[in-house]
């Protein structure tokens, strides 16, 4: 069986003032409409879920939720999307997040039966005292009792180099990207929130809420170098054009 990547819908973010995506004051008053996908990697040795979108209860709000800065919405619950693929969350062997922000970790507790693969720095960040007081803590609190595999450098998930988690800290302390070496598409790197859109990749603007600006620039440079070296395609997860270009179930990235 060949390696496959299925694309799932983790919601939308629409803002009328994108200035939050730049600490340098760009994007003021701009309308941005962003995707929020998550991905299911199917490998002969197991299934890996990469990110899990906004929490499913968001789909119960027909006009979405106004966070004050943007409108979040979810067209279809992730549990429902998996069920339409005849997949029970219990059948997901490995679960990992690009990072723990609520648009990526909303349904993490669905995967409490999986082995959670996480950068030690991100795990500490998620379970620090003030994170435990946050509204979104309940979305992922069960991971504290999940089977866990932690890493402190890049992590080769299946041990054959086909699916590798790349440390790219800066947006959060343990932010990560995912390299998948697909049989037909070749190497593809899913970059989490290293960049929000293609434009951010060109301008190298970073949001004001990143935990470490210097680390973010180093991570960006690292992924640019690696992509060049491997000839890899970069998928910017919130970028609408990248989302539109992806196959939908029952099709998959091959």
Which residues, listed in sequence order, are joined to residue 72 by a DSSP beta bridge?
A: 13, 65
Number of residues that bind Zn ion (CB under 5 A): 2
Applying CB under 5 A, which part among 64-72, 79-87, 102-110, 242-250 lies near Zn ion? Answer: 102-110
* Least spacing, CB of residue 99 vs Zn ion, in Å: 8
C-beta of 103 vs 122, nearer to Zn ion: 103
Q: Which two tokens stand for residue 189?
A: 């790197």
Q: Token digits for 53?
A: 């979108």
Shortest spacing between CB 238 and Zn ion, in angstroms: 6
* The pairing of beta strand 46-50 with beta strand 94-96: parallel
Minimum distance, C-beta of residue 120 to Zn ion, in the bound complex (Å):
21
Question: Can you tell me whether residue 156 is helix, strand or coil?
Answer: strand
The CA distance from 174 to 63, in Å, is: 33
Going by the DSSP 8-state scheme, the letter that residue 234 receives in this structure is E
Q: What does R_g of the chain's alpha carbons equal in angstroms?
A: 17
Interface residue with Zn ion among 9, 103, 122, 239 (CB under 5 A) is: 103
Q: Shortest gap between Cβ of 160 and Zn ion (angstroms)?
A: 29
Nearer of residues 65 and 158 to Zn ion, judged by Cβ: 65
Tokens standing for 213?
Answer: 């600006």
- Least distance in Å: CB of 177 to Zn ion? 13
Compute φ and ψ for 101, nearest 5 degrees.
-60, 155
Helices (H), the chain: 78-84, 102-105, 120-126, 129-132, 137-140, 198-203, 213-230, 240-244
Of 106 and 187, which CB lies nearer to Zn ion in the complex structure? 106
Query: Which listed range, 1-9, 99-107, 117-125, 181-189, lies at the site for Zn ion (CB under 5 A)?
Result: 99-107
Please give the residues from 14 up to 73 whose contact with Zn ion meets the rule CB under 5 A: none
Q: How many CB atoms lie within 10 A of CB 201?
A: 18
Q: How far is the CB of 103 from Zn ion (least distance, A)?
A: 4
Q: Give min distance, CB of 192 to Zn ion, in A.
A: 7
122 binds Zn ion (CB under 5 A): no
What are 118's two structure tokens?
Answer: 């996480």
> Interface residues for Zn ion in 173-232 (CB under 5 A)?
193
Interface stretch with Zn ion, choices 48-56, 68-76, 103-111, 215-223 (CB under 5 A): 103-111
Residue 221 CA to residue 230 CA, distance in Å, equals 14
Residues within the interface to Zn ion (CB under 5 A): 103, 193
């Amino acid at each position: 069986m060949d390696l496959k990547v299925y694309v799932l819908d983790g919601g939308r973010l629409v803002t009328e003032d994108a200035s939050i995506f730049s600490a340098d004051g760009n994007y003021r008053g701009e309308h941005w409409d962003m995707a929020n996908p998550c991905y299911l990697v199917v490998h002969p040795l197991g299934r890996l879920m990469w990110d899990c979108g906004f929490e499913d209860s968001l789909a119960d709000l027909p006009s979405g939720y106004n966070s004050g800065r943007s409108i979040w919405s979810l067209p279809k619950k992730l549990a429902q999307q998996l069920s339409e693929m005849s997949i029970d969350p219990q059948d997901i062997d490995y679960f990992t997040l690009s990072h723990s922000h609520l648009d990526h970790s909303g349904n993490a507790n669905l995967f409490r039966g999986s082995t959670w693969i996480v950068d030690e720095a991100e795990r500490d960040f998620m379970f620090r005292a003030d994170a435990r007081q946050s509204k979104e803590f309940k979305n992922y609190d069960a991971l504290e009792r999940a089977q866990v595999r932690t890493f402190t450098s890049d992590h080769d998930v299946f041990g054959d180099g086909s699916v590798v988690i790349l440390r790219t800290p800066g947006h959060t302390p343990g932010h990560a990207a995912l390299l998948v070496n697909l049989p037909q598409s070749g190497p593809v790197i899913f970059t989490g929130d290293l960049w929000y859109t293609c434009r951010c990749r060109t301008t190298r603007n970073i949001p004001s809420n990143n935990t470490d600006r210097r680390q973010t620039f180093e991570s960006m440079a690292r992924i640019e170098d690696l992509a060049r070296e491997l000839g890899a395609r970069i998928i910017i997860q919130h970028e609408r054009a990248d989302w539109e270009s992806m196959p939908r179930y029952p099709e998959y990235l091959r």
